[in-house]
Amino acid sequence: MEVLTLLGHGFGTVFQPINLFLVFLGSILGTLFGALPGLGPINGVAILLPICYTLGLPVESSLILLSGIYYGAEFGGRISSILLNVPGDAGAVFTTLDGYPLAQKGLAGPALALSGVASFIGGTIAIVGLTFFAPLLATFAIDFGPSEYFVLMVFAFATVSALMGSNPVKSLVGVAIGWMIGIVGVDSTTGVMRFSFGEAELYDGFEFLTVIVGFFAVSEILLMLEHHSSEHFAMPKITRIYVTFKEILYCKWTILRSSVIGFVVGVLPGTGASIASAVSYTLEQKLVDKEGTFGTGDMRGLAAPESANNACAGGALVPMLTLGVPGSATTAVLLGALMLYNINPGPMLFVDQPVLVWGLIASMYVGNIMLLVINFPLVRVFTKILQVPYWLLVPSVIVLAFVGVYSVNSSTFSLGMATLLGVLGYFLRKLHYPMAPVILGFVLCEIMEDNLRRAFAMSGGEADIFFKGSINITLWILTLAIFFVPMISKFISKKYALGKK
């Protein structure tokens, strides 16, 4: 009951006119930052943080606005993923796998509407979890050391084998390509240059935005141009712009499972929406994709990553608020915002700053509802993008993507690398190599390598540290299950079929 009382006080803070307006503003800006490739939540929060401080906004008002941009961007990231096959950030990569094929089938409207519902449910479940289970989950998360994080990364890569069931080798090759791109630059531990070839621009490695724009935006543009010049090319027709209640019910268990997975993954510091969406998508594929329709425009394949990455946004706030440890890159910026106001997050934050904490949690309830209400009427507007003539759409997409790349470090070299990666991505896609494993390998390789080295440093070079403890053992069992359970079930099915004959 004490939690509900404190939450009630939080709603009292939110319903002050200025804070209510900031919730609305954060939701709108967050949706735009998420929808525009090259921006995303971290850039949105970083841009608005100095403005909030300069304007002298109270800390609770600033955090309400900045967190609204954070979960609003996760909500909006689905738009370009579904309509243009260009993810706005890492968490939206898996949305493209079924979202874009649905748009190509003329179902962009239902895809946008369903993803909005899935995002809302995932976000709501995360907020409820943040409200009632934050201390408990923070205690669980603190048990994760370097060895546990390394095994978690192994588990994440193992799930890639499910991304392309007919040819898992190509998925693993994609992971290897992502790794090769990810290790370019200065080794953070030894200071050794790796594969930079003396080029100063590569000392810091590849920017995520350069990679994502290259492999998705540029390669997609090349495919668009190829198809547009083909006699068989046809613009997708919009059949309807709404999602039916039956379609939502069809995805209900997928949404609920993925929301829980996303929230739990978000609680683990340093993971983020990319891992949450990858794990939820691949587990759902193993559980429900009996007909092999994931990747071809399955509603469940769209609902899984969307509910997971929005739930992850809420989960990532748990370690930040309770432990002072950011759960993702964006929450690291939010942590910096608190420190800018001389507030140190940690176990005492709920006691020392109840107005701040419960005002933030209450604002997320309100903001999540606002996002759903704002986005549903805009589905018709978003679907109009697919009806823009290709002579206008193609250059607009590439200009927007390149502006995003250039805005990161004002480097023309990054534009050239995005173009080269785009050509590579084009040939990989022509050879039917999936792009999601490439991005997953790129995003996770640094985290995996750092934790591998830290674990060996703690154990004195002994590998048995990766097989000690209940968390490690559980993760290894799940990893093995991903590889062998489908093979065993297929073998049993064949035996059963032969027995019936």
pLDDT tens digits for 277-290?
888 888 888 888 88
* ∠ Cα 39 225 88 (to 5°): 15
pLDDT score of 21: 92
Looking at 58-72, 178-192, 349-363, 484-498, which range is the least confident one?
484-498
Q: Is the pLDDT reported for residue 501 higher than 60?
A: no
Provide mean pLDDT across the span 399-405: 74
Give the model confidence (pLDDT) of 68-79 as tens digits. Answer: 888 888 887 788
User: Is 431 exposed, middle or buried, given 0-12, 13-18 or 19+ CB atoms closer than 10 A?
Assistant: exposed
What would you report as the CA-atom Rg of the chain, rounded to the nearest whole angstrom?
Answer: 22
Looking at 225-239, 296-310, 452-466, which range is the least confident one?
225-239
Distance in angstroms (rounded) separating the CA atoms of residues 181 and 245: 43
Give the model confidence (pLDDT) of 139-169 as tens digits. Answer: 666 677 888 878 877 877 776 655 444 567 7
DSSP symbols for 40-91: HHHHHHHHHHHHHHHHT--HHHHHHHHHHHHHHHHHHTHHHHHHHS--SSGG
pLDDT score of 460: 85
Extract the tokens encoding 311.
């739930």
pLDDT score of 231: 45
Confidence of residue 424 (pLDDT cuts 50, 70, 90): very high
Confidence of residue 232 (pLDDT cuts 50, 70, 90): very low
Q: Is the pLDDT reported for residue 393 higher than 70?
A: no
In 252-294 the beta strands, taken as DSSP E runs, fall at: none
Pairing of strands 185-186, 193-194: antiparallel
- Write 128-131 long-range contacts (CB < 8 A, 24+): 129/263, 129/311, 129/314, 129/315, 129/318, 130/314, 130/315, 130/317, 130/318, 130/361, 130/364, 131/3, 131/7, 131/361
Q: Is the pLDDT reported for residue 496 higher than 70?
A: no
| Percent of the chain with pLDDT strictly greater than 70 | 80
DSSP symbols for 382-430: HHGGGGS-HHHHHHHHHHHHHHHHHHHH--HHHHHHHHHHHHHHHHHHH
Distance in angstroms (rounded) separating the CA atoms of residues 440 and 204: 19
Provide mean pLDDT across the span 425-431: 88
Of 385 and 480, which is predicted with more confidence?
A: 480
Query: How far is the CA of 280 from the CAs of 53, 192, 247, 300, in angstroms?
Result: 37, 36, 19, 11
Average pLDDT, the chain: 79
Query: How far is the CA of 45 from the CAs of 65, 346, 359, 371, in angstroms?
Result: 9, 21, 18, 17
H or E stretch covering 219: helix 219-228
> Residue 396 is which amino acid?
S
Confidence of residue 233 (pLDDT cuts 50, 70, 90): very low
Provide mean pLDDT across the span 412-436: 86
Confidence of residue 258 (pLDDT cuts 50, 70, 90): very high
Provide mean pLDDT across the span 297-324: 84
Of 50 and 474, which is predicted with more confidence?
A: 474
Taking a C-beta distance cutoff of 8 angstroms, is the pair 323, 345 a contact? yes
In sequence order, what are the beta bridge partners of 380?
none
Of 315 and 496, which is predicted with more confidence?
A: 315
Of 167 and 468, which is predicted with more confidence?
A: 468
Looking at 51-60, 263-272, 313-322, 450-459, which range is the least confident one?
263-272
